[in-house]
């Protein structure tokens, strides 16, 4: 396989930024379905797919989310066309017969040990949410991920029946032309973060 061309790399990583100021352009439900159809193909351990996504789009749903946001995250979230609650299903192992059918015991790897189930599930749900960000960029959307909110409050408000646990939020939309970006913050250099042995 080839390296993606420069434009694709720009859109996914090199020029992609976290977005806080949104244009008025809305997102069709079909686009959200397309987004999930791509993001779900990212790999997870034993194909466990533990991530769950609630797309907060209506004004009613936004109003329900608002009280749980940290003050600095309120305005941008209220103005974003969609906010995803990226969550984790603690009972994700119940789907293993569908997702990993060639190993009938696979659900028990996760179910028998709450620690392993939660650890592996949460790790893979976080991966799923990260794939969501990259998939969104790949189909021309912009993202603003946020961890600054009351997880327990959101879980009670939105996941009382399902028992899902919120992980982080992702504002989704199209950036405004006027986005006054601060310059990209530094990242660690290869020698600071990596080692080849
Ligand atoms: C999991 C996660 C949680 C974040 N939480 C917040 C937040 O609560 N509020 C906020 O303003 N930015 C938040 N950010 C945005 C980061 O600060 C931003 O993505 C980072 O500085 C990189 O910016 P860049 O993509 O423009 O290079 C979060 C990002 C991630 C990935």
The count of domains in the chain is 1
At 182 the pLDDT is 84
Cα(134)–Cα(121) distance, integer angstroms: 20
Q: Cα–Cα distance between 4 and 82 in angstroms, integer? A: 28
End-to-end CA separation in angstroms for the chain: 26
Task: Identify whether 197 is part of a domain.
Answer: no
117 in any annotated domain: yes
Is residue 132 one of the residues assigned to a domain? yes
Tell whether 14 is covered by a domain: no
pLDDT of 2-45, one tens digit each? 999 999 999 999 999 999 999 999 999 999 999 999 999 999 99
In a domain, 9, yes or no: no
Quick one: which atom of ligand 1 is closest to the CA of 184? Answer: 27
Tokens found for residue 62? 């936004």
CATH number (domain holding residue 153): 3.40.109.10
Tokens matching residue 172: 């989704």
Q: Say how far apart CA 124 and CA 101 lie, in whole Å.
A: 19
What pLDDT does residue 179 have? 59
Structure-token match 């009670």, residue found: 156
Do 38 and 139 meet the contact criterion of CB atoms below 8 Å apart?
yes
Q: How far apart are CA 100 and CA 113, in angstroms?
A: 18
Of 39, 38, 83, the residue nearest 57 (C-alpha): 83
Ligand 1: centre distance to CA 145 (Å)? 6
Q: Tens digit of pLDDT for each residue in 157-167?
A: 999 999 999 99
Domain that holds residue 51: 21-175
Look at residue 104 and tell me if it is in a domain: yes
152 C-beta neighbours (distance < 10 Å), count? 10
30 in any annotated domain: yes
Pocket (CB within 6 angstroms of ligand 1) = 17-18, 72-73, 145-148, 168, 184-185
Element (H, E) at 171: strand 165-173
Q: Has residue 13 been placed in a domain?
A: no
Q: Which atom of ligand 1 is nearest to the CA of 129?
A: 1
Question: Which residues, given as ranges, of the chain have pLDDT below 50?
Answer: none
For residue 38, how far is its CA from the centre of ligand 1 (angstroms)? 23
């Amino acid at each position: 396989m080839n390296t993606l061309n420069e434009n694709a790399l720009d859109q996914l990583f090199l020029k992609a930024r976290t977005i806080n100021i949104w244009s008025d352009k809305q997102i069709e439900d079909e686009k959200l379905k397309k987004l999930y159809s791509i993001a779900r193909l990212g790999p997870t351990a034993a194909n466990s797919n533990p991530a769950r996504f609630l797309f907060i789009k209506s004004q009613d749903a936004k109003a329900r989310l608002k009280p749980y946001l940290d003050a600095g995250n309120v305005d941008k979230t209220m103005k974003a066309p969609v906010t995803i609650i990226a969550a984790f299903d603690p009972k994700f192992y119940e789907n293993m017969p569908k997702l990993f059918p060639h190993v009938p015991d696979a659900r028990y790897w996760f179910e028998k040990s709450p620690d392993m189930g939660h650890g592996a599930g949460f790790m893979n749900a976080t991966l799923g949410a990260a794939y969501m960000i990259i998939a969104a960029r790949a189909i021309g959307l912009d993202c603003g991920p946020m961890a600054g909110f009351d997880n327990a409050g959101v879980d009670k408000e939105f996941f009382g029946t399902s028992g899902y646990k919120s992980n982080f939020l992702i504002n989704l939309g199209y950036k405004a032309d006027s986005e006054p970006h601060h310059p990209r913050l530094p990242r660690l250099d290869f020698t600071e973060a990596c080692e080849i042995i």
